[in-house]
Amino acid sequence: MRIDERNGTRVLILAGEGPAVSTPDDAADLVGDAWAHAATVVAVPVERLDPAFFDLASGVAGGITQKLVNYRLRLAIVGDIAEHVEASRSLRDFVWESNRGTQVWFVPDEASLAAKLG
């Protein structure tokens, strides 16, 4: 985990390796880490997400995103999710809607996140 300043916004960036983020309790830990470092955005690499996150029927994505949004934190999923999006129309729609908003974003890399924050 590291903290980075992106266009005036403090971002908590999780390392690519580590335990999977798979439950609202895991998201609560992220909230605590973000608050401890005064970050307002949490960037989670795709490889850190439980595969069930990409199956919207599982409720994993909803539980994680809702926890962060409830605490007024923005969530950025960073990495290539093309394979998941191609396999699920509902996920494709969720990604499209999320990227139009300001709370949850799916970006291919950290540079794209910086641009989004700009």
CATH hierarchy code of domain 2-110: 3.30.750
pLDDT at 7: 83
Q: Quote the CA–CA distance of 14 and 33 in Å, as a whole number.
A: 10
* pLDDT at 97 (0 to 100): 97
- Least Cα distance to 106 among 31, 43, 34 occurs for 43
For the chain, percent of residues with pLDDT exceeding 90: 97
The predicted structure's pLDDT at residue 6:
83
* Rounded CA separation 85/55 (Å): 10
pTM here is 0.94
Q: Which residues of 65-74 are buried (b: 16+ CB within 10 A; e: fewer)?
A: bebbeeeebb
CB atoms within 10 A of CB 77: 26
Q: What is the pLDDT of residues 16-34, one digit of tens each?
A: 999 999 999 999 999 999 9
Residue ranges per domain, the chain? Answer: 2-110
- Give the pLDDT confidence of 30-62 residue by residue, as tens digits: 999 999 999 999 999 999 999 999 999 999 999
